[in-house]
Amino acid sequence: MSFRARVFGLVLLVAVIAIGATAWLTFKLATRQIDESQEKATQHVVDTADIVRSYARRHGTWAGVSVKVQALSEANHQRIRLVNLYGQVTVDSDHLAKRAARPVVSPPTLIDPRPTLTLPDNVDELPWPESVVRDAKVRSLTKAEAVTLDGIRKFRQTQLVARCLTERGIEPPAVTPNKLGIPIPATPPEASDCIQTIKPELAEDEGGDEAAVKVCRSEKVEHGCLVRVFGERVSAFAPEPLQLFLGAVDDDPAKLVGGPMAVAAGSVLVLALAGTAVVARHVSRPVRSLTAASRRLADGHLDTRVPLVGGGELGQLSTSFNRMAQAIEASEQAQRRLVASVAHELRTPLSNLLGYLEALQDGVVPPSRELFASLHDEAQLQRRILDDLQDLTLAEAGHLTYRRVDFDLAELVETARVAHLAVAEATGVRLRAEVAGPLLFHGDHDRLRQVLGNLVTNALRYTDAGGSVTLRAYVANGRPVLEVEDTGCGIAAADLPFVFHRFWRADPARDRATGGSGLGLTIARQIARDHGGEISVASEVGVGSTFRVTL
């Protein structure tokens, strides 16, 4: 995948994850908050209803509940309204506070202060209630009837005492439901004349209670009937059921969403930052590795390479870097080899020269015309090597100047033949030229003559007397070709790949002696290439060689 596509993909991934996470977190937090607030609201209604119900049970009356309701409303910042089953308002906190009535939001909750009798299945195992045991009139009751009757009496007494105390401004004791579900005081009420006050009222209903519980004897489900009778009897004196309406709780909406949203935003920000950091690290890793490799290369570690990181732009960059490092290393090695070769090439003739000069100086060797001629040849070879080297360096750097003109290649071949005729005749080699006719070409006449001259010199040098050297100029595949064919010693197949290398000679000792610099073919190949062409060789040992310059 390309670098750009990868960066795009990774950034997109981070963005999608961040957006997804935001949406998910917001949804989750909002849902949870709604659930929590609903749960809280429900619990709040239940709690409020409990408080109001407990008031009625403890005080035996709704009188005085307004103080409780007002305090509760102020504490909760909420309207509380109690209405009886006929629609009459018992108390409304907003009316009490003389403020504009706020709307009620929840459906009404029934507050029934009347207890429900819970008769256990094993009612016969319960002890006989004392009030019934003392009462001779009701001895004929069953255990269940006796327990129910006792419950009605106890509850009535509790309620009447509590109501009496409330009327006198005394706080009645708190009540808790006993085993049968009837609220009775946890502690005895404060001493007052209320017990006496309520006696006649208590006695009034006793006969009715007894008759009512006995009705259940004929009923199939006696317990169910007794529970119903209990409910009917206590309704006569318990405070009436009311409906509770609640207004909205004044909540700060900013507080509702602010906290969770800040948490969500913070989490997503952290997530996005972490994701971006990972992406940045991932993306910049190959770049960092390339930077480090460049530094190492600049410090002279030419064998530095970077690992290939996939395809795309970064992969191409790594490949280019490695290729560049390889080229620099190869060039450095070539340069070192060249300097070593040059030193090697110049050392032998210079040693020779020095040796003879010292011998002449010491008078060991007598000076002679032949000796001076030989020393002159040696010095000339060195100059030729340096000249050739300079030519080659210029040519390889692309700085060799070419003066291109239109000229006839056939004529060039003929000129070269004539120039080398004397040498050919002296060595007993037949030198021929085969040209079909004028062959016009645009290029540097002198440089191509240098190439041809080098090839002919070589051919004559490696062909023994009786052999022949043929020069040709022709067109093949629409391209002009210069060819030099000899019937000389030929070049071993194993040596052919090195023929055009610098300073390469098949037989260094012999070839040096014949005055070859070992650079002729290298220069010839460079000149051919600079003319858009190539030079090739076909050779067989003992048969001969053919050098072909395709232009």
Interface residues with ligand ADP (CB under 6 A)?
A: 454, 458-459, 462, 486, 488-489, 491, 499, 504-506, 511, 516-521, 545
Q: For tokens 């190492």, what's the residue?
A: 296
Nearer to ligand ADP (CB atom), residue 108 or residue 453? 453
Region of 60 (left: φ > 0; alpha: ψ -120 to 50; beta: rest) is: left
What sections of 168-221 are H helices per DSSP? 194-214
Cα distance between residue 280 and residue 407, in whole Å: 64
Q: Sign (positive/negative) of CA torsion 209, 214, 218, 223? A: positive
Q: How far is the CB of 520 from ligand ADP (least distance, A)?
A: 3
Q: How far is the CB of 477 from ligand ADP (least distance, A)?
A: 24
Q: How far is the CB of 350 from ligand ADP (least distance, A)?
A: 18
Q: Please return the burial class of 38, using the count of CB atoms within 10 Å of its CB with bins 0-12, 13-18 and 19+.
A: exposed
Q: How far is the CB of 397 from ligand ADP (least distance, A)?
A: 20
Cα distance between residue 433 and residue 473, in whole Å: 8
Look up residue 78 and give its two tokens.
Answer: 């909420």
Q: How far is the CB of 502 from ligand ADP (least distance, A)?
A: 8
Nearer to ligand ADP (CB atom), residue 115 or residue 488? 488
DSSP secondary structure of 362-420? HTSS---HHHHHHHHHHHHHHHHHHHHHHHHHHHHTT-----EEEEEHHHHHHHHHHHH
Q: How far is the CB of 509 from ligand ADP (least distance, A)?
A: 11
Nearer to ligand ADP (CB atom), residue 240 or residue 378? 378
Cα distance between residue 129 and residue 209, in whole Å: 15
Q: How far is the CB of 455 from ligand ADP (least distance, A)?
A: 7
Nearer to ligand ADP (CB atom), residue 91 or residue 535? 535
DSSP secondary structure of 149-181? HHHHHHHHHHHHHHHHHHHTT-PPPPEEE-TTS
Nearer to ligand ADP (CB atom), residue 239 or residue 533? 533
Q: How far is the CB of 550 from ligand ADP (least distance, A)?
A: 18
Q: How far is the CB of 388 from ligand ADP (least distance, A)?
A: 8
CB atoms within 10 A of CB 360: 16
Q: How far is the CB of 460 from ligand ADP (least distance, A)?
A: 9
- 89-92/109-111 β-pairing: unpaired
Closest CA to 486 of 463, 503, 504: 463
Nearer to ligand ADP (CB atom), residue 102 or residue 512? 512
Q: Answer for the pair 384, 523: CB distance below 8 angstroms, yes or no.
A: no
Q: Answer for the pair 420, 461: CB distance below 8 angstroms, yes or no.
A: no
Cα distance between residue 262 and residue 295, in whole Å: 46
Nearer to ligand ADP (CB atom), residue 146 or residue 385? 385
Nearer to ligand ADP (CB atom), residue 82 or residue 519? 519
Nearer to ligand ADP (CB atom), residue 367 or residue 497? 497
Nearer to ligand ADP (CB atom), residue 268 or residue 455? 455
Nearer to ligand ADP (CB atom), residue 167 or residue 530? 530
Q: Which residue's CB comes closest to ligand ADP?
A: 516
Where b means 16+ CB within 10 Å and e means fewer, 116-135 reads: ebebeeebeebeebeebeeb
Q: How far is the CB of 458 from ligand ADP (least distance, A)?
A: 3
Closest CA to 316 of 22, 79, 30, 2: 2
Cα distance between residue 438 and residue 167, in whole Å: 147
CB atoms within 10 A of CB 534: 13
Q: How far is the CB of 483 from ligand ADP (least distance, A)?
A: 12
Nearer to ligand ADP (CB atom), residue 425 or residue 464? 464
